[in-house]
Structure 1
């Protein structure tokens, strides 16, 4: 099983390195002209980790994790549409904003690609992760999507890299997972931007 991690973000390198540490076969996909400037990307390059275009990375992978900035989502959707990707699992790890025209990113990806196996996971971490969790206190992520077998595969991958996988139901709930992310950002704003905030699920 090969994973593609798409996007030139901190989340992309963080998740990619976690999967690599567990022995998974991982390729990275970035936009054309991407400057490998950050230390994490330079280390991956020095280790001869494969860094490709979005299309090249998707083409090689069985499971695709989208960890990109919102402005390149249209390029990623175009890359998915240009390939025979019907048997691949696509996992959206991003968040839209209330101000931009994309709305819920997962809904946008489904609309643009009509892909049959789109899931949501890891969006609670944010694209800045692990900077948003320097002490590595966040040990859980929510996921949602349709399809029993693919859900089980995703759950196992989440648990493989040390997170508790909390099942949030069907794909229609992706907008609720994005709302959780936006809520924690609003709380940080009210606190004058001091620190970061995360939610922990409790059963009582």
Structure 2
């Protein structure tokens, strides 16, 4: 099994390291103009030779985590469209720009360009700047959603493999709700204006 993480973000780097530590084969897909000479990325590439263009990472991988900034999504979608994605498992970890109607979703765009893949959403509550947004390490869970097919169990296990609690949020149509949680936490942080980060925790009774 090989996991491809698309996006030269802190989230991609952090999740990738966690999967490498868990013994999983990992490849990182980045933009054509990405600076691979940044210290941590240079070290990853030198030790593991795992950094390549988006399309190459997609082709190599059975499971794809999209951890990119929204500005990189058109290039990723083009790579998805050009590559063979039938039967691959894709996890959208992104958050679209805030939209009050919750009508615009990165997940919909990904689905359009990889219609035969098994698409899920997870890890988006971490944000692409994770772990910098969680300096005290308080985020222990992630919500995930997707159709009720056998691959959903694999997504749950992938989340748990790297130490997060996996909270099932239903079908893929709920992806905008997961993004709404992320945007609400950012709005609270912004309005406090004290450099703090706010996160939600699920409480069951």
Do both share a fold (TM > 0.5)? Answer: yes
- After TM superposition, give the deviation of residue 126 of structure 1 in Å: 0.1
Give unmatched runs, 5+ long, in structure 1.
Answer: none
For residue 83 of structure 1, report the CA deviation from its aligned partner.
Answer: 1.6
Deviations 1:127-151 (A, max 9, x none): 0000011121111000000142110
Measure the CA separation in 1 of the matches of 2:116 and 2:15.
Answer: 23
Unpaired runs of 5+ residues, structure 2, are none
Cα-Cα RMSD: 1.8
Question: Which residue number corresponds to residue 84 of structure 1?
Answer: 84
> Where does 1:152-167 land on structure 2 (aligned, <5 Å)?
152-167=153-168
2:111 counterpart residue number = 110
- The C-alpha deviation readout for 1:57-85, integer Å capped at 9, x for no partner, is 00010000000111111111111111221
Give matches, 1:97-176, under 5 Å: 97-98=97-98, 103-176=104-177
Aligned to 2:120, the other structure's residue is in SS state: strand
1:104–1:175 CA contact under 8 A, matched in 2: yes
- TM-score, normalised by the number of residues in structure 1: 0.95
1:36 Cα offset (Å): 1.8
Q: What is aligned with 1:183?
A: 184
CA 1:7–1:193 in structure 2 vs 1: closer, same or farther (change >3 Å)? farther
* Residue 47 of structure 1: how far off its partner (Å): 1.0
Deviations 1:174-194 (A, max 9, x none): 000000000000000110152
Runs of 4+ aligned structure 1 residues displaced above 6 Å come to none
TM value normalised by structure 2 = 0.94
Change beyond 3 A, Cα 1:113–1:85:
closer
Conserved in 1, the CA contact under 8 Å of 2:3 and 2:64? yes
